[in-house]
Amino acid sequence: MSSFTSPDILSHLPIEAIQPSQLLYLLPIGFVAWALYHLSIGFYNLTLHPLAGYPGPLLARSSTLWYAGALARGTIAQDLLALHDKYGDTVRITPDEISFIDPKNWKEIYGYRGGKVEMIKDPRYHDTVKPTPTILTGDYDQHNYYRKVLSAPFSEIALKKNEHILHEFVDKWVYRVKELGQNGTKRIDATDWFNFLTFDLIGYLAYGEEFNCMTNSRLHDWIEASLAMATLMTLGQAARQLPYPFDKIYKAWAIPEYVYRHTKMHRTLVEEQVNSRLGKDPKHMDFLQRMIEIYKAGNLDFPTLSEHASLLTIGGSETTATLLAGAVYFLAKDPKVYGKLTKEIRTRFADEKEMNLINLSQCKYLLGVVEESLRIYPPSPANHTRMVPQGGATLEGKHIPGGYCVSMPMYGSFNAKSNWAQPTRFAPERWTGEEPETFGRDRKEALKPFSFGPRNCLGQQLANHEVRLVIAKMAWHFDLELMSESIGWEQQTSYTFWKKLPLYVKMIPRKN
Ligand code: HEM
């Protein structure tokens, strides 16, 4: 026991000497001292702090309140964009963090840094939901090891081998959408139906088991539980930015009880699923196969196995469902764009069965639709903060000392006026080269929705293949009509992921 908590020491404190009436004086004095202390820190942050020269709003340069507020409100993605549009490519978003949107900084912040030490993730980012290190949260060695263990099923060869699984699930989606939409007479909620599809698919790819969301037209409890966990992560990040005791007060006040309940439920569901997977041998090489072999050989513990199962399930389904919902919203909103897409798909193929991962990767307009959806509505919209290592880093020609934070906000970089012409327009032509006079000066290297460098997305190829196939089959089978109640759908908050609203569309079987 530490001497601080020793009752013996406490008994020597002259507590009894303080009269209740004296507290009336001591409390305000304490408050004034506390306020003066924070004011002096704020003054230091604005004047003598090593990052004092960077532009940004007064509240963000002097305290962490601006950043904590944006995280708590769920507007961090849009707020960072607004700051960059106002202050330029480089903005100070907390006293200790600089945000960049010029694409040349991807390499130094997230890349291999030419043999120098890789920048680590800011530990405050994952702390709330990190019971055990994973590929996402582990240190350099842990990350390298888990990445190697998990990589095999994500290779192009393995994906090609499992291509028939993608087709089976997407065909079932088409069938169910036709059935539920009563041949285009009834609206469907595309947000739900993409979650059903991607969750069913990830269940099969990760555990060799179907979750039956499409069969039951019902979200698995797991989806809601995992979104609660993502909310907890963001609110935890907000709390961590606040000074003591406001961090504790905020956490107790702002995080609803249901978030903790769902987070607990999430862990139970993952553990049940992993236990069920341990008892059988799936027909194909699923995502967990290699890790399970290591677990069975006694070289990995159960919490590590189940944490990885959890992150593959969420990372592999929610992100892809979000991208698909965003694509459908922007396509349904602009019949001219959707018309160009359907023309490409319906003329390129004589039969739906001709579609495969290789020839879809040659459909220029389809690829443009996917890139543009990732740009305008990135599934992981916020900034993925990194810490500058000892010795510092040079960014935009300026030295940033070790220990400070740097980041590139996804939504901000992908929608900033200085990176893109007409950033609010959904224009696949930006990527096809059809309008060089308008989009020729876009800084296209800014688009890195799967992040960059050694910790970029392991599922990038799978996600790209899956999304191309779904959009192509949708364009093959359906015309789209956006319901008036879903106009403005993209105005959403985000807590790690977007809080997606229902997306009501009619998917009308094509006539010709
Ligand atoms: C459109 C879909 C997707 C997007 C936009 C996306 C985005 C990202 C991003 C931005 C990261 C980096 C996170 C960070 O720095 O903290 C990441 C990492 C990761 N993603 Fe994805 N992801 C997608 C789909 C998938 C899929 C389908 C899977 C697998 C089933 C997956 C598995 C992973 C894994 C394992 C990591 C950690 C990689 C590492 O740290 O080495 N993702 N993803």
The model's pLDDT over 274-332, given as tens digits with 9 standing for 90+, comes to 999 998 887 777 899 999 999 999 999 999 999 999 899 989 999 999 999 999 999 99
Amino acid occupying residue 113: R
Nearest 5 degrees, angle CA 76-CA 417-CA 86? Answer: 60
DSSP state string for 70-90? HHHHT-HHHHHHHHHHHH-SE
Nearest CA to ligand 1 atom 43: 457
C-alpha 194/C-alpha 381 separation (Å) is 19
- Nearest-atom number in ligand 1 for the CA of 462 is 27
C-alpha 37/C-alpha 34 separation (Å) is 5
> Do the Cβ atoms of 126 and 263 come closer than 8 Å?
no
Helix (H, G, I), strand (E, B) or coil at 7: helix
Residues in the chain, pLDDT under 50: 1-11, 13
> Percent helix, strand, coil in the chain (nearest 5)?
60, 10, 30
Write down the pLDDT at residue 222. Answer: 80
C-alpha 457/C-alpha 454 separation (Å) is 9
Write down the pLDDT at residue 253. Answer: 84
Write down the pLDDT at residue 1. Answer: 31
The alpha-helical segments, DSSP class H, found in 242-334 are 246-254, 257-278, 289-296, 302-333
Closest Cα partner for 369 from 323, 401, 406? Answer: 323
> Do the Cβ atoms of 213 and 220 come closer than 8 Å?
yes
Work out the number of other CB atoms within 10 angstroms of the CB of residue 191: 23
Closest Cα partner for 272 from 218, 317, 313, 231? Answer: 313
According to DSSP, residue 188 is labeled E
Write down the pLDDT at residue 126. Answer: 65
Write down the pLDDT at residue 235. Answer: 87
C-alpha 462/C-alpha 336 separation (Å) is 29
- For domain 132-379+449-509, the CATH class is mainly alpha
The domain limits of the chain are 52-131+381-420, 132-379+449-509
- Nearest-atom number in ligand 1 for the CA of 136 is 40
Which residues, including other chains, have CB under 8 Å from residue 283's CB and lie 6 or more apart? Answer: 208
Write down the pLDDT at residue 387. Answer: 96
Q: Which residue ranges make up the annotated binding site for heme?
A: 457
Write down the pLDDT at residue 512. Answer: 72
Helix (H, G, I), strand (E, B) or coil at 505: strand
Distance 459 CA to ligand 1 centre (A): 6
Q: Which H or E element spans position 92?
A: strand 90-94
Backbone dihedral angles phi then psi of residue 273, each to the nearest 5 degrees: -65, -40
Binding pocket residue ranges, ligand 1, CB within 6 Å: 135-136, 147, 312, 315-316, 319-320, 323, 379-380, 384, 449-451, 455, 457-459, 462-463
C-alpha 383/C-alpha 129 separation (Å) is 18
Distance 291 CA to ligand 1 centre (A): 18
The alpha-helical segments, DSSP class H, found in 58-189 are 58-62, 65-73, 76-87, 106-110, 140-151, 156-161, 163-180
User: Which of 377, 457, 469, 498 should be mutated for ligand 1, with most atoms under 8 A from CB?
Assistant: 457
Quick one: how many helices (H) and strands (E) in the chain? Answer: 23, 12
Distance 202 CA to ligand 1 centre (A): 13
Amino acid occupying residue 215: T
Give me the count of residues in the chain: 512
Angstrom distances, CA of residue 225 to CA of 4, 22, 75, 258, 463: 40, 49, 22, 9, 22
Nearest CA to ligand 1 atom 35: 458
